[in-house]
């Protein structure tokens, strides 16, 4: 068993560790949204909800998507985005909305009443990290404009190839007055691998990093509004907790793993270098934090194993 885990992690650094058989991909949700999934979360020991728990707070997910012209494989980008949308829409509570912001809608075999696709004529970015990150921030701003009528609400930015915990909306609804949370614990998953590893300080490496309560004044009205006037857009990507504190907004750590950072998709636009993950110390850290992708984890986050491209 130990040798197989070491072999798996050696392969995770240089390629995909694939599982024989067809990929496991969540199907369209057919049950009522409020009862879509019933996975137990007792092991997370969530804190008790405040006295205002009977109130509901909407959780808004904003997902920026690159354009076909900026991607190397649009079919794969579409498949990854669909998996992300399925993950988000698998929430155990119906109190959420999703805004997918893009130049062109991806090819989807999926729809959901909570999903809104916002298409706009964004300039095609140059093939460098700075330009691609600017494109992402502009799409986040456009998503905030689209979601403005839902304020006050909790807002979460989600990268278009990441996965989220299916109890986030339920948790936000139980804590409607909470200023927000940063994703202190999450998972890193190499696309297609049968292994996953848990990562501390998750918000420091992944764009799917925080949930923030936003009032109406936190949402821009137009694209010409200055980015610096709006807290979430100014942060834009990862590492929300320290900028939030300087603005008088204390974000607490989310008390359970909140998301999965999917790597080696061939289309990542994280702005984060993974070179630091190489080396003996990092290999040992990964090994100690590794675990097999269980059916429970697949259901909770919408994780797939095997070659995602085969599902396109």
Map tokens 């804590």 to a residue: 175
The alpha-carbon radius of gyration of the chain (Å, integer) is 19
- Quickly tell me which residue has 């839902």 as its tokens: 150
**Can you give the pLDDT at residue 10?**
42
Nearest-angstrom CA–CA distance, 268 and 283: 22
Cis peptide before 116 (omega within 30 of 0): no
- Give pLDDT, residue 282: 60
DSSP 1: -
Yes or no: say if 152 and 215 are a contact pair by the CB < 8 Å rule: yes
pLDDT at 191: 81
- pLDDT value for 193: 86
Spatial separation of the C-alpha atoms in residues 241 and 117, rounded to whole Å = 29
Cα separations (Å) of 52 from 46, 156, 173, 175, 255? 16, 22, 10, 7, 19
Q: Which residue has the tokens 């024989």?
A: 20
284's tokens:
């040992």
Query: What pLDDT, on the 0 to 100 scale, is given for residue 284?
Result: 64
Domains of the chain: 2-24+52-311 (3.90.550)
Map 107-164 to HEC letters. CCCCCCCCEEEEECCCCCCCCCHHHHHHHHHHHHHHHHHHCHHHCCEEEEECCCCCEE
In this structure, how many other beta carbons lie within 10 angstroms of the beta carbon of residue 46? 16
**Percentage of the chain lying above the pLDDT 90 cut:** 57
Residue with tokens 């992402």: 136
59-64 and 115-119 beta bridge pairing: unpaired
Per-residue pLDDT of the chain (312 residues; tens, 9 = 90+): 444 544 444 444 333 323 333 333 333 332 233 333 333 333 333 333 333 333 446 999 999 999 999 999 999 999 999 999 999 999 999 999 999 999 999 999 999 999 999 999 999 999 998 999 999 999 999 999 999 999 999 999 999 999 999 999 999 999 999 999 999 999 999 888 898 989 889 998 898 999 999 999 999 999 999 988 888 888 766 678 888 887 888 999 999 999 999 987 665 554 444 444 556 666 666 666 788 999 999 999 999 876 553 443
What would the DSSP string read from start to end of 45-96?
-PPPP-TTTTS---EEEEEE---GGG-S-HHHHHHHHHHHHHHHTT-SSS-E
């Amino acid at each position: 068993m130990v040798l197989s885990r070491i072999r798996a992690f050696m392969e995770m650094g240089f390629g995909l560790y694939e599982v024989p058989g067809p990929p496991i991909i969540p199907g369209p949700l057919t049950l009522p949204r409020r009862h879509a999934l019933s996975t137990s979360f007792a092991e997370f020991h969530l804190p008790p909800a405040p006295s205002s728990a009977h109130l509901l707070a909407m959780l808004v997910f904003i997902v920026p998507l690159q354009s076909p012209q900026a991607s190397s494989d649009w079919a794969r980008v579409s498949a990854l985005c669909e998996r992300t949308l399925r993950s988000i829409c698998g929430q155990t509570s119906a109190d959420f909305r999703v805004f997918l912001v893009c130049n062109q809608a991806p090819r989807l075999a999926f729809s959901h009443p909570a999903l809104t696709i916002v298409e706009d004529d964004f300039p095609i970015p140059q093939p460098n990290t700075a330009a691609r990150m600017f494109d992402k921030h502009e799409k986040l701003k456009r998503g905030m404009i689209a979601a403005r009528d839902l304020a006050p609400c909790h807002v979460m930015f989600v990268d278009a190839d990441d996965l989220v915990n299916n109890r986030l909306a339920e948790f936000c609804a139980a804590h409607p007055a909470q200023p927000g949370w940063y994703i202190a614990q999450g998972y890193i998953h190499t696309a297609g691998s049968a292994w996953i590893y848990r990562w501390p300080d998750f918000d420091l490496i992944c764009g799917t990093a925080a949930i923030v309560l936003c009032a109406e004044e936190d949402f821009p009205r137009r694209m010409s509004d200055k980015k610096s006037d709006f807290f979430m857009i100014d942060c834009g990507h990862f590492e929300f907790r320290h900028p939030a504190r300087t603005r008088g907004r204390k974000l607490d750590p989310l008390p359970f793993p909140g998301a999965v950072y999917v790597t080696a998709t061939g289309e990542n636009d994280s702005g984060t270098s993974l070179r630091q993950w190489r080396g003996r110390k990092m290999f040992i850290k990964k090994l100690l934090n590794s675990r097999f992708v269980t059916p429970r984890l697949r259901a909770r986050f919408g994780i797939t194993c095997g070659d995602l491209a085969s599902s396109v």
